[in-house]
Every structure is written in C-alpha cells, then in structure tokens.
Amino acid sequence: MAETIAERVKNVTAEMLKVDPEKVKDSSRFVQDLGAASIQSIELVAAFEEEFNIEMDQDEALSVQSVGDAVAYITKCVGEQHGK
C-alpha cells in the first residue's frame, strides 16, 4: 500500500536527522525535539522538495516548526502543484 504523505514526511525526517523513526511524531518539533540545526533544516527542506517533487517557499518552509505542521504544509504544496 502506498505510503501517506505523513508517513513519507516522517521517514525522510528520521533519515535526514538520523533519529529513531519511532520518535518522529506529529507533535515533534524539528529543532527542540529532533535536534535539527539550521544547516540540517535547509537540507531537510530540500529533501522534502525532492521526495514530493514540489517547490516550497524557503522562508515559509523554514518557519514550519513541527512535523505535523510540515505534513500540512507539504500536503498543501502537493495539492497546489500536482492537483492531489
């Protein structure tokens, strides 16, 4: 069965930040809970863009604080750019 956007966001997050996938929850905050330094945040945004074949506004993307908010933002971008 195809992974949902939320599952894919969590997998990419875990891989990029080298954290246990079990620890990546909707409520997890990238910086405080998952330890994303500023450089890693930039890489993470790039990874989401590549994973979902979307372009995100960098200022907006970097202002997203939690995994759940990232799922919502990416879902919106996917919808706008791919009509899904």
Binding interface with another protein (CB under 8 A):
12, 15-16, 39, 42-43, 45-47, 49-51, 57-59, 61-62
Q: Read off φ and ψ for residue 68, nearest 5 degrees.
A: -60, -40
Give min distance, CB of 43 to another protein, in A. Answer: 6
C-alpha span between 26 and 24 (Å, rounded): 7
Which residue, 8 or 29, has its beta carbon nearer to another protein? 8
Q: Which is nearer to another protein, 27 or 43 (CB)?
A: 43
Q: Which is nearer to another protein, 64 or 71 (CB)?
A: 64
CB-neighbour burial class of residue 5 (10 A; exposed 0-12, middle 13-18, buried 19+): middle
